[in-house]
Amino acid sequence: MDNNFKTFFSKARDYLSDIVSLNDHIDTDKASQYIRSNIDFKGPNAYILAFAIVVASVGLNINSIPVIIGAMLISPLMGPIFGIGYGLGTNDTSFLKTSFKNLVVMVVISIIASGIFFLISPLELENPTELLARTNPTIYDVLIALFGGFAGIIEISRKEKGTVISGVAIATALMPPLCTAGFGLATGSLKYFAGAMYLFFINSIFIAIATFLTVKYLKFPMATFTDPTKKKRVSRWIAVLTVVIIIPSVYSAIIMIRENNFNQTAKEFISQNKELANSYIYDYGIYSHSKPPKLELFIAGEALNQQEISALYRSAHEFGLTDDQIIISQRASSDQKEMTDRVAIQSIYERSDQEIRKREEVISDMRKELQEYKSRELPYEQITNELMAQYPSLSDVTLTRGYSLSTDSLGRTEEIIIILSAEKTISKENLEKLRKWLMVRLDFKNIKLLQE
């Protein structure tokens, strides 16, 4: 028995090992050539970058997702980033410097060009959602960049190329954040510029880290040095640079996780305490960058007494929030006349949203009931025609659903009752055949077939 188990686990281990093995699918020499040929910022790449800048800027300016996706696919920015990770992984300082220099040039040109575009563009959106989406990076952006980078470098290293690079270009957006930074530069908005550059920094760093780790794992050819002293010096600088890149990115990831967790906790707390005794939370402010992070509540209606404030703090404790993280800003009933139009309108919208949700729930329930009723509806005309085709002597057919009740237990059983009227009596044998056919035809077991 033990030998059987050992054999089974051995086969399972070999099978899994064969699935995850990359040895037979990787060509590091061709991958190195591919990476080296895609870091240059000259010739076609210069023109392609210019076109990508225009396409991305227009897409952001008109809030068009398909256009933005097109710009991601066109952009050549991915090449130098893979080059940086490759240079770190192979200790090739010369190649690393070239890749970094080309990336910096591309970034600067992209920001300046998109900034000029937004300066001269006559279109100004009231709600630029696609621009805003590039200013608030979260932990999910870190995960997307990291695993997208893994997918990209493995695809580059694979013998048979597929369409993975296109997917990586879309998932790990590089051009849109740079154009959003250009928008911030053009409009003088530090929020847009800093948020977009932060997102670009995250995407670039974690794609490079994924490339670096994969290059090390796949054992790409290392750079050769004739001078041992120079080799040690280069290795030392590569190690320092790697640490300099990884430590801030890990720190930023930790900070983003904390901020994201606080934002979610704060919103859940507000959702649970929206309606208070004789007042309500009409607005709130989340300050996740402060130390400690704080949540400000703007309360309208009657002023909260000390007991109600204590209850609000106790509710905050259940969500892991402390008293010093909660700021309560009240508007007493005497101050109601001074409430802004924004507050009053927001209150009306919230109540309207609640009514709409209730109506949508009622409509959804009615639709389900209607679908259930339709699913139970019998195909009266079709069944009648099929019965007439089999027994032309039929003069009348009655179909209905009903229930048979047990007099003992008062339990009920659903049935389909069919009553046939014919010029000639149908034999019991044919009636039984007909009943079995109807069971299959109507996909229902309890068929009661009667003959007048």
Average pLDDT over residues 309-319: 85
**Tens-digit pLDDT profile for residues 51-105:** 888 888 888 877 777 888 888 888 888 889 999 988 888 888 888 889 999 999 9
81 neighbors 104 (Cβ within 8 angstroms): no
Exposure string over 180-202, b if 16+ CB within 10 A, otherwise e: bbbbbbbbebeebbebbbbbbbb
| Tokens found for residue 371 | 């679908």
pTM of the model: 0.57
Per-residue b or e along 23-51, where b marks 16 or more CB atoms closer than 10 Å to that residue's CB: eeebeeeebbebbbebbbbeeebeeebee
**3-state SS class at 279:** strand
pLDDT (0 to 100) of residue 333: 44
pLDDT at 206 over 80: yes
The pLDDT tens digits for 208-265 are: 888 988 888 888 888 766 566 766 776 677 677 667 666 766 777 777 788 888 888 8
Q: What pLDDT score was predicted for residue 332?
A: 47
pLDDT over 50 (residue 337): no
CA dist., res. 29 & res. 213, Å (int): 17
pLDDT at 4 over 80: no
How far is it, in rounded angstroms, from Cα 305 to Cα 299? 12
Tell me the Cα Rg of the chain.
35
Digit-coded pLDDT (tens) for 99-137? 999 999 999 988 988 888 888 877 665 555 555 555 566
Q: How confident is the model at residue 336 (pLDDT cuts 50, 70, 90)?
A: very low
CB 394 within 8 Å of CB 388: yes
pLDDT band at 291 (very low <50, low <70, confident <90, very high): confident
Instruction: Tell me whether strands 447-451 and 412-422 are parallel, antiparallel or unpaired.
Output: parallel
What pLDDT is attached to residue 407?
Answer: 65
What pLDDT score does 439 carry? 83
For residue 438, give Cα distances in angstroms to 334, 395, 419, 443, 452.
75, 18, 13, 8, 18
* Tokens 């154009």 sit on residue: 179
Of 311, 344, 347, nearest in space to 326 by CA: 311
pLDDT at 447 over 50: yes
Name which of 251, 282, 13 is nearest 139 in CA terms.
Answer: 251
Long-range contacts of 251-258 (CB under 8 A, 24+ apart): 252/142, 252/202, 253/139, 253/142, 256/137, 256/138, 256/139, 256/142, 257/139, 258/288, 258/293
> Is omega for the bond preceding 292 within 30 degrees of 0, making it cis?
yes
CB-based contacts of 440: which residues, under 8 Å, 6+ apart? none
